[in-house]
Structure 1
């Protein structure tokens, strides 16, 4: 059992549904039976999350991970002892809720950097709360990359069941997108997607590439990004043996993907994929932070401030994110 996956489960934003989802996941004993799991957060908030979720938890609590030997099926809570965490206002982003999530996430990244864990799953963060707490980056991806010392391209992916979405551009203003859609950037995204899916256990990924303009440009009638950047990048990738097709109009490529033509769709900007996947399965979607030394997965939905504390949070996406983290860990070299 020494090679069973080592996973860090991070309690997310304290003002949202993170504690409740963490408790619900820990109550799924079949899911964690063969996992060496460390939970990072706060004992009082986890207890409150269990109360809201209507589950009973019995986790050993430690105050340091140094020298900790994780055992399969026996999760341990690393209590970071957040001062006044149980007094954080529920239902809105604050500096305190962002600091809670950042401290938990940072501790997990440190465990990943030392090799103590192989993958991370976190319940939802809030980017505004992160910014209020001092995150100098636009999102948690690039903060994680810096803390882990990642070299090369890092990217955010989305997954719904067996269907993946990748992006050439992500968290940038729409006005910046056309300038960043170079042949080189599209090709890099295609190769990164192929590598990421292989690491997740897909032996020969099939990639569908979305166009940028309406009707994929209609031969240049509605824009030249397809002609100047996207089509040449697809040809480059195909010449190097990748299974790629496109560019397809963004309003039809997902129909092809849904019927099973592709394992992933590479989109040109954030909402080309997010809208499609969330419509197809909001409660099952997963976000993956890839290109990092430690793979990271989280539910694709947000902190759900509007239902925090009500017990209504759906576990589906968190469970899918946890399974994704386990899959990545299982495909990494044993240590």
Structure 2
């Protein structure tokens, strides 16, 4: 199998059913039944054939083309015969469901580390089941990083249509957020989102940055993070060639979202509330910063609608499309000596910023409320 995988120049995407007790299997079956996806990538299903059949039944008997070799004719099922070892009950959290998720995700990571796939798309997971199965990390992203022994900058990237958001802090209590906002952490978040937007196909991404405090800090009256940390990080990013502006008051920045390809927020709900109001259906989460492209729909396991065949596959399809797009970009860079790399992108951006954009980065907007 390894040899056949390396011969192709199409993106190679592994998909998992996610939590077997949730709507993940139904969603994956619906996405795999879309023959247009076979034209986009070679697809490998991490699961037993019995699980695929159950998923097809959950999706009202959709047709999923299966082939001995992944390609335009069908998906390849990487059946390792382990499904009977994990007994799960629909719509219930369990240690077994979490263990099944980890088993398939580890298989995907092993394939990625061996160079046999370019991306992983996983259906929704249930954090309670994952913790019952032994996960001690705060979220899946940190678990992935640990499995890959990766210590670089990572962040969940959330997507709603053309708008991507990154964040400086993530799954931590609000009482800890202010102390985690500094120039270095903000700069890393800006750099990561910029690179990922470039990988998604945008040659010169435009970013905006949120303030932390009300009224953009009101010149330090409501906090100094904007003055001492966020604005200096924006200035440093611009010096590196990143087209970024801010900080802007967080209650208005999303009103000007059409100006930006990405927005860096300071904490989880600052961006998530806005994104889910703008586009709950179709939302995607990318496990940003990891050496392998990993994406998932930005919703949960929806135990309340399991077995009803009413789960929308839109977000899962979008997650697949994002993974293909990013994997293609990375593959083009690997295979073509003529393609412009990210470092060249920054140099071009630096020259453009020096000629066109103003050097003022801190924006104070008077507010009355």
8 A Cα contact 2:86 2:99, kept in partner = no
Distance change >3 Å, CA 253–CA 73, structure 1 → 2: farther
Q: What secondary structure does 2:22 align onto?
A: coil
Distance change >3 Å, CA 73–CA 4, structure 1 → 2: farther
C-alpha separation between the residues in 2 aligned to 1:87 and 1:95?
10
Is 2:51 the partner of 1:40?
Answer: no
Distance change >3 Å, CA 80–CA 214, structure 1 → 2: farther
8 A Cα contact 1:207 1:264, kept in partner = yes
Is 2:91 the partner of 1:59?
Answer: no
Larger Rg: 2
Greater displacement, 264-273 / 36-45 = 36-45
Is 2:253 the partner of 1:265?
Answer: no
Q: CA deviation at 1:73?
A: 4.1
Equivalent residue, structure 1, for 2:221: 221
C-alpha separation between the residues in 2 aligned to 1:41 and 1:241?
44
Q: CA deviation at 1:117?
A: 0.3
Q: CA deviation at 1:128?
A: 1.7
Equivalent residue, structure 1, for 2:304: 306
Greater displacement, 104-113 / 43-52 = 43-52
Gaps of 5+ in 1: 62-68
Q: State how 1:1-335 maps to structure 2 within 5 Å.
A: 2-54=8-60, 55-60=62-67, 70-84=70-84, 87-257=87-257, 260-333=258-331, 334=334
C-alpha separation between the residues in 2 aligned to 1:325 and 1:276?
23
Q: What secondary structure does 2:46 align onto?
A: strand
Greater displacement, 136-145 / 20-29 = 136-145
C-alpha separation between the residues in 2 aligned to 1:80 and 1:12?
16
Gaps of 5+ in 2: 1-6, 336-369
8 A Cα contact 2:87 2:96, kept in partner = no
C-alpha separation between the residues in 1 aligned to 2:182 and 2:96?
40
TM-score by length of 1: 0.93
Q: CA deviation at 1:41?
A: 1.8
C-alpha separation between the residues in 2 aligned to 1:185 and 1:121?
28
8 A Cα contact 2:26 2:59, kept in partner = yes
C-alpha separation between the residues in 2 aligned to 1:183 and 1:173?
20
Root-mean-square deviation over aligned CA pairs: 1.7
Q: What secondary structure does 2:110 align onto?
A: helix
Greater displacement, 293-302 / 219-228 = 219-228
Q: What secondary structure does 2:207 align onto?
A: strand
TM-score by length of 2: 0.84
Q: CA deviation at 1:228?
A: 1.5
C-alpha separation between the residues in 2 aligned to 1:309 and 1:251?
40
C-alpha separation between the residues in 2 aligned to 1:84 and 1:322?
28
8 A Cα contact 1:40 1:79, kept in partner = yes
Q: What secondary structure does 2:220 align onto?
A: coil
Q: CA deviation at 1:44?
A: 2.4
8 A Cα contact 1:36 1:73, kept in partner = no
4+ long deviations beyond 6 Å: none
Query: How many correspondences in the alignment?
Result: 326
C-alpha separation between the residues in 2 aligned to 1:188 and 1:175?
21
Q: What secondary structure does 2:280 align onto?
A: helix
